[in-house]
């Protein structure tokens, strides 16, 4: 085919590839200014390279005479893993030794004539690296709940959902490759097109949700979430918790939207590890859940003190320390079993 591609000869999957490249480039532009999202920029950059070669091989835009794309599928898993690692460890530095994750890609370049096998290995690699990345997200979740009252705003549940979706696509792609020889060309082509569209949608969601992520937990590497409370004097920590609790209540510290262990450490001259252990033992819950419990109690007291007029629930929530309506509604219902509006109506009936 002539290097100047006839647009009328392009297949739908080629159009998807062009849109994919444009989306990834736009994502890099939007996220490059956020240092902790440089990993996702790497992921988008590698996907652009993959799509360029995909487009070239399918349209014969360039005559490289050698398949490249099967080997490049082995880059997505490591890139996703490194993206998550640099996202949750804010002080983790990029290092040359991380390139070792891409060695299988270089090796696979010599075996791309076994296209289906190499692509299947790429899907398996994505699943393995996805599990490793998920472990980082679990540590992130535990550490943020133990260390900050704003843990709900720092949540990365959307990333877990996207990772699960990628895992499902990885499995279905392995099935597609194994059944490809048994399918008619139109069916195989349609399945491949749908797969690419789904991947495009997931990458679009990844870019949008990353841009919209309000705040992230800082200092994961400073908190060892594997610590247990075995072999410690629980009575000492219960007494310490009472002192900490009194300080928080007296100074209404729970009303600070982003109260953290570091803030309490500065006020009480205690170390964050002792405060965390005291809250875990004394309140029998994480720091985030404990602070949110105090906020809910604050809201309940304010509602009980009102007359029968309709309250401005959002203002009351903000005064109690919540910094979003969705977070307030979710936490309030978790603690009380009722929505704020239902709770207020119940008070009026009593």
- Per-domain boundaries in the chain: 7-220, 227-252+259-284, 285-350
**How confident is the prediction for the chain on average, in pLDDT?**
87
Residue 201 main-chain phi, psi, to 5 deg? -60, -40
- Does residue 1 register a pLDDT over 60? no
Residues 167/168/172/177 CA torsion (nearest 10 deg): -10
Mean pLDDT value of segment 155-163: 92
**Considering Cα of 245, then 247, then 254, then 311, what sign does the dihedral take?**
positive
Q: What number of residues does the chain have?
A: 350
Task: Identify the bridge partners of residue 148 per DSSP, sorted by sequence position.
Answer: 260
Mean pLDDT value of segment 265-273: 90
**Considering Cα of 86, then 91, then 93, then 99, what sign does the dihedral take?**
negative
What CATH fold (topology level) applies to the domain 285-350?
Answer: Arc Repressor Mutant, subunit A (1.10.10)
- Whether the Cβ atoms of residue 144 and residue 154 lie closer than 8 Å to each other: yes
CA distance 69 to 71: 5
Inter-residue long-range contacts of 258-264, CB under 8 Å, 24+ positions, other chains counted? 258/148, 258/149, 258/150, 258/215, 258/323, 259/148, 259/149, 259/150, 259/291, 259/321, 260/147, 260/148, 260/149, 260/150, 261/146, 261/147, 261/148, 261/287, 262/147, 262/219
Q: pLDDT at position 63, please?
A: 62
Q: pLDDT at position 67, please?
A: 80
Query: Model-level pTM?
Result: 0.83
**Could you tell me the pLDDT band of residue 98, with boundaries at 50, 70 and 90?**
very high
Q: pLDDT at position 346, please?
A: 86
**Could you tell me the pLDDT band of residue 347, with boundaries at 50, 70 and 90?**
confident
**Could you tell me the pLDDT band of residue 2, with boundaries at 50, 70 and 90?**
very low
């Amino acid at each position: 085919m002539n290097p100047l591609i006839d647009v009328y000869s392009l297949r739908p999957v080629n159009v998807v590839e062009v849109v994919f490249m444009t989306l990834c480039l736009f994502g890099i532009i939007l996220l490059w200014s956020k240092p902790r999202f440089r990993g996702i920029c790497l992921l988008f950059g590698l996907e652009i390279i993959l799509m360029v070669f995909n487009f070239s091989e399918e349209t014969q835009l360039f005559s490289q005479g050698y398949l490249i794309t099967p080997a490049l599928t082995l880059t997505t898993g490591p890139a996703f893993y490194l993206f998550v690692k640099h996202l949750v460890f804010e002080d983790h530095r990029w290092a040359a030794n991380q390139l070792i994750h891409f060695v299988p890609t270089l090796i696979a370049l010599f075996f791309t004539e076994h296209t289906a096998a190499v692509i299947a290995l790429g899907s398996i690699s994505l699943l393995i690296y996805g599990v490793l990345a998920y472990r980082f997200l679990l540590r992130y979740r535990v550490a943020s709940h133990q260390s900050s009252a704003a843990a709900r705003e720092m949540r990365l549940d959307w990333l877990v959902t996207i990772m699960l979706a990628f895992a499902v696509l990885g499995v279905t792609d392995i099935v597609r490759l194994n059944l490809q020889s048994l399918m008619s060309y139109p069916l195989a082509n349609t399945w491949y097109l749908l797969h690419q569209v789904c991947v495009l949608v997931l990458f679009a969601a990844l870019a949008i949700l990353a841009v919209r992520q309000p705040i992230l937990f800082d200092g994961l590497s400073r908190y060892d979430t594997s610590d247990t409370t075995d072999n410690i004097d629980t009575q000492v920590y219960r007494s310490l918790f009472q002192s900490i609790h009194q300080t928080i209540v007296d100074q209404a510290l729970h009303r600070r939207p982003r109260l953290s262990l570091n803030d309490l450490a500065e006020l009480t001259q205690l170390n964050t590890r002792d405060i965390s252990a005291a809250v875990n033992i004394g309140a029998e819950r994480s720091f985030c859940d404990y602070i949110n419990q105090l906020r809910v109690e604050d809201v309940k007291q304010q509602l009980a003190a009102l007359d029968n007029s309709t309250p401005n629930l959002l203002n009351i929530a903000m005064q109690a320390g919540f910094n979003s309506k969705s977070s307030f509604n979710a936490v309030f219902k978790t603690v009380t079993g009722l929505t704020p509006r239902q709770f207020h109506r119940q008070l009026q009936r009593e």
